[in-house]
Amino acid sequence: MSKLVIVGTVAFDAIETPFGKTDKILGGAATFIGLAASQFGVKGAIVSVVGGDFPQSYIDMLSSRGLDVSGLEIVKDGKTFFWSGKYHNDMNSRDTLATELNVLAEFDPVVPQSYRDSEVVMLGNLHPLIQLSVIEQMESPKLIVLDTMNFWMDNALDELLRVISKVDVITINDEEARQLTGEYSLVVAAQKIIQMGPSYVVIKKGEHGALLFHNNEIFFAPALPLEEVFDPTGAGDTFAGGFTGYLARTRDYSFENMKTAIINGSALASFCVEKFGTERLLDLSNDELYLRLQQFKSLTQFDIELT
């Protein structure tokens, strides 16, 4: 098993969906990634920052899942990153109501010494300069995975392009892939992104699954059709956490193994959306994950005679 470094926000989120509304609850890209990756029993370290307003009980909870929090800086007189969003009725699109960077504005990440030799690095959604700094601190990672969003394309495009040129895998949603490349076709968009640096591109299509592009090959993983999607927040991060957690556990970074990693990421994401925030990930058992992986398998398996 390899070690995994996770950088991303650890946050307070306030979410509104057609099913209800929350006050500030635990959120953040690194939180979802860490909780998802911890399902695979990997040694993961969270590199992030929170303010003095962040409850110690949340930090203890992350440690209790086997996540190293020595790289989680606490700025006593600062406020934790806050994000608020409202989902439309289709649950596939949302409006961001607030993004308050707070302590994140001055964050200088420090990867714990004992994690600098990790093979896998998961750069969760954050300012690209912070992501770059984490890459620079690593000794010789075998796989660097980047997640980003339109917020950084709008606010720090040059820096984002620098990070993209240094990573092996990028995970991005369909609209963001179109924004980044100016291409409507996702196949052409993926080809253009591959020219920017990464040799693997994962395009997430929400309830329509995910596509993996590498050289001239494409793999498609569906999302599990669910009766009820309660809150999609964190689904993309959970997917990324499942993907990297699985790869760190198996230490096989081939295209073939990435297919299984994508199915694991999709299965975990399908749990994430069943309840608000991190709630469902926190009470998820290994047996439930195993059953859902079986459902994924039977969903896509078919015999066909080719004549």
Binding site for ligand AMP (CB under 6 A): 9, 11, 13, 27-29, 83, 99, 125-126, 149, 151, 233-237
Helices (H), 6-102: 29-37, 56-64
Minimal distance, residue 161 CB to ligand AMP, in Å: 17
Nearer to ligand AMP, 107 or 246 (CB): 107
Minimal distance, residue 195 CB to ligand AMP, in Å: 25
Nearer to ligand AMP, 99 or 133 (CB): 99
Nearer to ligand AMP, 112 or 236 (CB): 236
Q: Which three-class secondary structure state does DSSP give residue 16?
A: strand
125 close to 8: Cβ distance less than 8 angstroms: yes
How many Cα atoms occupy the beta-carbon half-sphere of 273 within 13 Å?
Answer: 23
Nearest partner of 275 among 287, 265, 284, judged by Cα: 284
DSSP state of 279: H
Separation CA 88–CA 69 (nearest Å) = 35
Minimal distance, residue 28 CB to ligand AMP, in Å: 5
Nearer to ligand AMP, 73 or 237 (CB): 237
User: Cβ neighbours of residue 213 under 8 Å, at least 6 residues apart?
Assistant: 187, 190, 191, 194, 200, 201, 202, 203
Nearer to ligand AMP, 161 or 188 (CB): 161
Minimal distance, residue 158 CB to ligand AMP, in Å: 17
Q: Which three-class secondary structure state does DSSP give residue 5?
A: strand
Nearer to ligand AMP, 119 or 237 (CB): 237
Question: Quick one: angle between helices 286-300 and 255-272, nearest 10?
Answer: 120
Minimal distance, residue 39 CB to ligand AMP, in Å: 17
Minimal distance, residue 148 CB to ligand AMP, in Å: 9
